[in-house]
A and B are shown apart, each in its own frame.
Chain A
């Protein structure tokens, strides 16, 4: 049992890879076995993560379950893992969504082995980012998460998949270059990649030079490299155009993961790296970030409202929702140390979770209808409620969760962000209400065009109801949305302490 407790994070992190390797040895033709094996492989980290959660002490400070081993001693990089409240929530989100996405991919029939392999690899990449406490390790996993997604889009995507996949990879790779640059600079200047050490020394660093550049310049360059890398991933307006394309062309499960977890990597980067490492710069530029967040909220919602493609609409909704995360982070950076900052951060992290659930659910439901009709054009639907009442109910529920209906997950986080951001960025918050209004507008537009109205005779009697498998995929998401909406304390318990600590630590630099 010691092995389990001492190396829980490593186990969670690498069981998907092990599963992926096992998959390689299974016969490629036996699709059923491959599917179930992939599902089983993704369920193991889920179980382990539940254990992690159960043993996690929300009242403790700092990182827990820390593992540290020499990894790259020559450059002071180590295999350093640990979780705090934020990463725990993200890990939980990842391990919940991945099995569901795998289950949702049971309809994939081509090259299942490669597909599932990539999926499990993707899971490790994502988990690695959330778990690593070493900058270099963070970067490595960041990239590990990138490549499988590219292949998933490029190989199993829709008609314009090549364009979308290329756009995705180039865009995010471009961001990663900045990340790499910043990582290198920090590593060289600070002499370590260990985050817990960097939190202590990096913000304090004022003297010294790198390649003849003064330290202030170095820090500014590294700061902006980080910000751009993460902003692209979130994505913050105006770096967002890769997202609708990638989402639209990705396979259903790919979209689920992309929206559910991958976008969170960017926001997580802000929380884990940018805020603690650059408290001063963050505060300085928080206004810009808030403005971009508000713009993302507004233009995300407007963009979604302007779509005729169901999936594109949902994709834009991600931009809209992630805007709140950015707004919350910006508010926390500006109001550092105050109660507002803590509330905004709470809201931002919770919004990451809730958006992960609702966006994944929405993408899945789009996939469900797409599999039946082979179209995503909203104008071709209509009146499907009568044909698929259960689907209609589920879609309604999930859409309301996405809309932020109180009682479901999205509301609490949005309220917290608004509450936290209001005193800091009053105008941006007020303007973002326009976005929130249009959130309602586009959600209702989608519902109206898909479910309501006279039945499009083309689909009469042709659309089977949701299958049990599909029900199993969506049910956990719905339950979680409901639970988080009705009783968010269990999640906030975990988050609250950590974000308070982050905020406190940041305020010490002023």
Chain B
């Protein structure tokens, strides 16, 4: 194994040999290696966030016809460092009546939950933290931990806005987990495994082509999971001031902030891994580092789309958000899972071309049907809304027959 082909594993092997040569037990070596891996990954992720924050501000600025950060360093690239410095040096404030444990635990859980995701992501053909036979489930489980952070923050702050926001957030997160899991079921069905590495390896055809609608659902619900525009009801300023983290400042606020950005990036990673073939690309098997580049590029594209959405879409109302989930995405995902399961059985994986055509057609049909239903409902509601209403006095409306 040469350094140039697979530098990371080369370093790992070297470190391992080094530690073993010190006479440590093999179990302990593994443990230490995991520790080092986790540390390095975490560090990288944290550093990445610094860059992401700058990137996002810059991009959104451009979308909104502004310049964005432009003072510190070339293209304002050091702006984030300045912000960091400021946050690090701020005083730790704990509000009156706050529940100390919950209040202080919340930011840690938030960041931790996001970082834990990175443990199972296959970065290249050879580099993956834990190739876990229930990796997809693990993703969901870890996501669930994030909710815990939000709810603790909301409750611990002893602030009714924070509390309300936390409720909203939890409602939103739990709700959108449902279509997300269902959308994840489809790649799992194609692969027959819940291991992420296996999922990536199976994507001779990217799953976004085999299951475009599932990809769409996953993308939408993962944005909702992150709580970004247009799903940022949690922090709708006019209603909830600033959301569940209103009472936080300084480093603790910073941790929420980091968790937010990191989460956004993580879902892009996941999307790229699950639907865009992850590290797969020409030559990635032979030169794993090339896979890393592919993966990064795909992630960047997804992330970029996410930012564009954030910059261009208005916020949902809470009922719209819930409607979208329960009345649209969830049923759609359910139908999709069932239909894909049947179609997948009928057209075996060996007939790749046929399978691709069938799946595309199926997705198209289902999506068109769902869209049609949705449109009709919406227009029906609009008609009701536009109907003239009695102004001066209230008249008991005659019971209408919804069947006609």
User: Which A residues are within 8 Å of any B CB, using their own CB?
Assistant: 1, 29-32, 35, 109, 112
Contacts and interface: CB of A to CB of B under 8 A. Distances in A.
A29 B401 CA distance: 8
B402 A31 contact: yes
Interface string B366-404: 000000000000000000000000000000000001110
B345 A35 contact: no
Given A31-B401, A109-B401, 10 more contacts: A1-B345, A29-B402, A30-B402, A31-B402, A31-B403, A32-B402, A32-B403, A35-B403, A109-B403, A112-B403
Contacts of B403: 31-32, 35, 109, 112
A487 to B, nearest CB: 28
Nearest to A107: B403
Contacts of A109: 401, 403
Interface string B315-355: 00000000000000000000000000000010000000000
B294 to A, nearest CB: 36
Contacts of A1: 345
Contacts of A32: 402-403
Contacts of A30: 402
Contacts of A112: 403
> Which applies to chain B's interface (DSSP): helix, strand, loop or mixed?
loop
Contacts of B345: 1
A438 B403 CA distance: 42
B377 to A, nearest CB: 11
B295 to A, nearest CB: 36
Contacts of B402: 29-32
A1 B401 CA distance: 43
B398 to A, nearest CB: 14
Interface string B29-54: 00000000000000000000000000
A35 B401 CA distance: 13
Nearest to B346: A1
A497 B270 CA distance: 58
Nearest to B399: A29
A31 B401 CA distance: 8
A328 to B, nearest CB: 41
A112 B401 CA distance: 12
* Closest 5 pairs between A and B when the two form their complex, measured CB to CB: A31-B403, A32-B403, A31-B402, A30-B402, A109-B403
Nearest to A34: B403
12 contacts: A1-B345, A29-B402, A30-B402, A31-B401, A31-B402, A31-B403, A32-B402, A32-B403, A35-B403, A109-B401, A109-B403, A112-B403
B207 to A, nearest CB: 23
Interface in B172-224: none
A503 to B, nearest CB: 39
A104 B385 CA distance: 32
Interface string B284-301: 000000000000000000
A364 B401 CA distance: 24
A119 to B, nearest CB: 16
B334 to A, nearest CB: 13
Nearest to B400: A29
A35 B402 CA distance: 12
B59 to A, nearest CB: 44
A109 B401 CA distance: 8
A25 to B, nearest CB: 15
Nearest to B345: A1
A31 B345 CA distance: 35
Contacts of A29: 402
A35 B345 CA distance: 30
B15 to A, nearest CB: 49
Nearest to A29: B402
A112 B345 CA distance: 37
A29 B345 CA distance: 38
A508 B396 CA distance: 76
A75 B191 CA distance: 48
A22 to B, nearest CB: 13
A34 to B, nearest CB: 8
Contacts of A31: 401-403
B374 to A, nearest CB: 15
Nearest to B401: A109
A39 B112 CA distance: 49
Nearest to A30: B402
Q: Which of B345, B401, B402, B403 has the most CB of A within 10 A?
A: B403
A51 to B, nearest CB: 11
B234 to A, nearest CB: 31
B346 to A, nearest CB: 9
A32 B345 CA distance: 33
Nearest to B403: A31
A31 to B, nearest CB: 3
A372 B403 CA distance: 18
Nearest to A112: B403
A379 to B, nearest CB: 32
A31 B402 CA distance: 6
B318 to A, nearest CB: 22
A30 B403 CA distance: 7
A81 B46 CA distance: 64
A342 B266 CA distance: 72
A30 B404 CA distance: 10
A479 B403 CA distance: 29
A31 B403 CA distance: 5
A1 B344 CA distance: 11
A29 B403 CA distance: 9
A458 to B, nearest CB: 25
B399 to A, nearest CB: 9
A335 B355 CA distance: 55
A103 to B, nearest CB: 14
Contacts of B401: 31, 109
Nearest to A33: B402
A1 B403 CA distance: 38
A30 B402 CA distance: 6
B326 to A, nearest CB: 15
A109 B399 CA distance: 13
A112 B403 CA distance: 10
A100 B65 CA distance: 60
A32 B403 CA distance: 5
A447 to B, nearest CB: 32
A109 B402 CA distance: 10
A32 B373 CA distance: 13
A369 to B, nearest CB: 20
A151 B36 CA distance: 74
Interface string B236-271: 000000000000000000000000000000000000
A357 B345 CA distance: 34
A33 B345 CA distance: 30
A109 B345 CA distance: 40
A381 B402 CA distance: 32
A32 B402 CA distance: 7
A310 B403 CA distance: 29
A29 B402 CA distance: 7
A3 to B, nearest CB: 11
A109 B403 CA distance: 7
A180 B97 CA distance: 76
A2 to B, nearest CB: 11
A500 B402 CA distance: 53
A89 B381 CA distance: 45
A157 B202 CA distance: 59
A371 to B, nearest CB: 14
A308 to B, nearest CB: 33
A26 to B, nearest CB: 12
Interface string B124-146: 00000000000000000000000
A467 B402 CA distance: 19
A32 B376 CA distance: 13
Nearest to A108: B403
B189 to A, nearest CB: 14
Nearest to A31: B403
